[in-house]
Amino acid sequence: MTRLNDLALSAYGRPLADLSNQQACSMLQDLVKERSAALAPTAGKRRLYYISAEFLLGKLLTNNLINLGLYEDVKAQLEDAGLSLSEVEECEVEPSLGNGGLGRLAACFLDSIATLGLPGDGIGLNYHFGLFRQKFVQNQQLALPDAWLGEEDVLVGGREAFQVPFADFTVTSKLYTIDVLGYGRKTKNRLRLFDLVGVDDTLVPHDSIEFDKREVRRNLTLFLYPDDSDEDGRLLRVYQQYFMVSNAAQLILAEAVERGSNLHDLADYAVVQINDTHPTMVIPELIRLLEEEHDMAFDEAVNIVSRMVAYTNHTILAEALEKWPLAFIERVSPQIAAIIRKLDARIAKNYDDPAVQIIQDGVVHMAHLAIHYGISVNGVAALHTKILEESELSSFYRIYPEKFNNKTNGITFRRWVMGCNPPLAHLLDTTLGSEWRTTGDLTGLLDHADDQDVLSALADVKADAKGRMRAFMLENQGAHIPEDAIIDVQVKRIHEYKRQQMLALYIIWKYLDIKNGNVPPRPITIVFGGKAAPAYTIAQDIIHLILTLSTWIANDPDVAPHLQVLMVENYNVTAAEHLIPAADISEQISLASKEASGTSNMKFMLNGAVTLCTLDGANVEIADLVGEGNIYTFGASSEEVERLYAEGSYDARSYYRRPGIKLLVDFMTNPHFIAMGSAERLRRLHDDVAGKDWFMALLDLEEYIQVKEAVYRDFEDRGAWARKELVNIAHAGTFSSDRTIAQYNGDIWHLG
Ligand code: CRA
């Protein structure tokens, strides 16, 4: 392969050994760009368009080097020159185009689509300031604009693309591309990111994410999920969504024609996966374009489009199932509103069940539109799909049982082992051979479940990962983690249903227990990470509780040597890549029935953490695979939870009154503790948990504490724990996103 030294000489006029990390980083990025420019796009008649409001990519350099087969060589050459790839990589800025699991899933899927050689591209928007960058100030979250677009970014192109007609004005879009390279492939796929000609970064100050939401012609692509707590914000989201799908639809039609479609056969040339409801307006937009610009009859256009779109549902939380007032859509695009009305009228004529109408009381139910006018609706884990079929979407399931299917989520092994845990990848190679890298099959490890050499090598891999994580936390935020600490991690968006507050209550319990003299055999480090939506007050309060507890415990000399609570600032893919390989315990403690799937659960398992969980989302499948003894489960079942909601019979106060629970909840507002933080936030959270507790943290708390204590006890049997680790890794192959994508293609897309 290329001598990096020669490259350095020609790019910078000096040898590799004399380059700064920044220079080496740009040089390698250029090398990747040059290699990928030479690859042809994956070809095939029928092409997939995966439209998503988010793509949470993470840094790209290492992943691209792995997929190009250059990683080992580049690493070795850098090392010979006294440089380290991981330090070079620190100069790379992580794109800020995503939010949480749904966005990371989209990124894993692109990697797998490319790796399987399938013709398919992602389509999204190029947000200039992403979601936001999280800072902690006075133990509270501060949201800052995340200005990730630098001089030497990963975007290619930027040509003017399409005209997007809004009601009162028309805008021009620009199209950027990020090449997506498959593992060991000679072709590439692409993430197409649309931006707005005339977007104005100066609308956003440096120190806040507030901006004039009405300046649509200048603000359209500034932020992912702009604040929607007022009408201007909600309207802006509709503008963004229409901008995204109009560009997508125009691109799809142009490319289909280029490949030989006469548009009457469009469904043979293109299939669209609608990632959650945000891109649903692609349905009426495709119909509009076929009608208005290609003279197709309405009925034929509807028929064609209904054969080429598929919808993935990612949540049963009502707040996330988008509903837009028709009046908003009318203000953004009267044509789209008119088409939605016609589509609704057809449904109203055929079905009288109010639950399946598209427009109800002047409000458009985006999911309903996608289900009626698509070929497929899928959930993202077996339990989630079952809940969709049997309760949330049961009225639709009765009409279209054949449209419903499950696609349990997956994660790409290129990033989540090879990239983030090279020593583990190496151990897997030496134990199993390297086939697992493409097959994802790790079950051969089970033959080594009692092999002391493998188990002790696994212990070394974990120790090594802990070392990298400790260095990261030290550099990132000055945190010193004891070398022999148990690492117990909950990383994910902050949300009441995910119940970070329940882990915080456990921490209070443990704190008091240690105060009472019950010192654990080794230090325990509990790590949180995650952002809270800026308009979601209780989630901000939960962050405040965690950070205040962290300070409180660090300041208590009786407890600090035994218990440490950390929260990673600005949790993102890069942080995940450091934390997940180091974790001993994976906290997946959502209220059963609420977490559609989860994907960090899969990443932790793959890296040898043992799961402590409720039987929710994909945890159920993990538990079935690894079997009792290799996972810790607790809490009310999803049936029980659904029953409590249906009856309205959950009474937080009756749990709160139990002395053991009251003590913990009231700790939040004890005068000494509250004096350290914001009384307003801590009181509000206290009252919410004690009086409402909508996601039933108190219901499961006592059992959670018991099981967690058992986990820590079992951790001390190091031999038995190593075996649990191994069994978890061995079964993680099921959750390779290559498997998920092969299923999407086999059941829904039929590409090629
Ligand atoms: N928050 C679900 O809650 C799931 C991902 C990806 C989510 C997770 O359980 O793993 O999607 N849903 O399928 C979502 O974003 C809008 O809904 C998530 O990321």
- pLDDT value at position 752? 81
Q: How far is the CA of 720 from the centre of ligand 1 (A)?
A: 33
End-to-end alpha-carbon separation of the chain, Å?
32
Q: Which residues fall within 8 angstroms of residue 191, CB to CB, at 6 or more apart?
A: 55, 57, 110, 121, 122, 123, 124, 177, 178, 179, 180
Strand order in the sheet with 323-325: 323-325, 363-365, 359-360
Closest ligand 1 atom, residue 276 Cα: 16
Q: What is the CA radius of gyration of the chain?
A: 26
Q: Distance between CA atoms of 202 and 199, rounded to whole angstroms?
A: 9
Are 39-58+94-409+740-748 and 484-728 equal in CATH topology?
yes
Does ligand 1 lie within 6 Å of residue 409's CB atom? yes
- Confidence (pTM): 0.98
> What is the number of residues in the chain?
752
Read off the pLDDT band of 320 (50, 70, 90).
confident
Q: Is 603 a catalytic residue?
A: yes
Does ligand 1 lie within 6 Å of residue 100's CB atom? yes
- pLDDT value at position 152? 60
What tokens were used for 654? 């009756």
What tokens were used for 587? 């906290």
Residue to mutate, 312, 314, 622, ligand 1, most ligand atoms under 8 Å from C-beta: 314
| Residue of 115, 277, 599, 633 marked active site | 599
Q: How far is the CA of 375 from the centre of ligand 1 (A)?
A: 21
ipTM reported for the complex, 2 dp: 0.95
Kindly report each contact of residues 345-350 with a partner whose C-beta sits within 8 Å and lies 24 or more positions away, as own/partner: 347/372
What digits encode the pLDDT tens for the residues 206-224? 999 999 999 999 999 999 9
What digits encode the pLDDT tens for the residues 537-585? 999 999 999 999 999 999 999 999 999 999 999 999 999 999 999 999 9
In the DSSP assignment, the letter for residue 408 is: -
Q: Which residues face 633 on adjacent strands?
A: 613
CATH H superfamily, domain 39-58+94-409+740-748 = Glycogen Phosphorylase B; (3.40.50.2000)
For 156, list phi and psi in degrees, rounded to 5.
-115, 150
DSSP-derived secondary structure for 261-301: --STTHHHHEEEEEESSTTTTHHHHHHHHHHHTT---HHHH
Which residue type occupies 20?
S
For residue 391, how far is the Cα from the chain centroid? 25
For 506, list phi and psi in degrees, rounded to 5.
-60, -40
Q: Is 515 a catalytic residue?
A: no
Residue 616 pLDDT more than 90? yes
User: Which residue intervals of 555-636 are DSSP H helices?
Assistant: 573-579, 600-606, 619-626
Q: Which residues face 140 on adjacent strands?
A: 137
Cβ neighbours around 726 below 10 Å, total: 23
What digits encode the pLDDT tens for the residues 241-284? 999 999 999 999 999 999 999 999 999 999 999 999 999 999 99
What tokens were used for 74? 């580049």
- pLDDT value at position 547? 98
Q: Is 314 a catalytic residue?
A: yes
Percent of the chain having pLDDT more than 90? 98
- pLDDT value at position 1? 64
Average pLDDT over residues 347-363: 97
Does ligand 1 lie within 6 Å of residue 619's CB atom? no
3-state secondary structure of 435: coil
Average pLDDT over residues 500-509: 98
Strands 187-196 and 170-181: antiparallel
Between the CA of residue 241 and those of 163, 245, 315, what are the distances in Å? 15, 6, 19
Domain borders along the chain are 1-38+59-93, 39-58+94-409+740-748, 484-728
- pLDDT value at position 76? 96
Q: Which residues fall within 8 angstroms of residue 654, CB to CB, at 6 or more apart?
A: none
Q: Is 493 a catalytic residue?
A: yes
Q: Distance between CA atoms of 681 and 698, rounded to whole angstroms?
A: 19
Nearest-10 Cα torsion for 341, 346, 350, 353: -20
Residue 673 pLDDT more than 90? yes
Strands (E) in 52-207, as ranges, are 120-125, 133-137, 140-144, 156-165, 170-181, 187-196
- Would you tell me which CATH number, out of the four given (3.30.950.10, 3.30.300.180, 3.40.50.2000, 1.10.490.10), belongs to the domain 484-728? 3.40.50.2000
* Cβ proximity of 559 and 155 under 8 Å: no
* Cβ proximity of 351 and 399 under 8 Å: yes
Residue 695 pLDDT more than 90? yes
Does ligand 1 lie within 6 Å of residue 410's CB atom? no
What tokens were used for 36? 């990928």
What digits encode the pLDDT tens for the residues 434-481? 999 999 999 999 999 999 999 999 999 999 999 999 999 999 999 999
Does ligand 1 lie within 6 Å of residue 285's CB atom? no
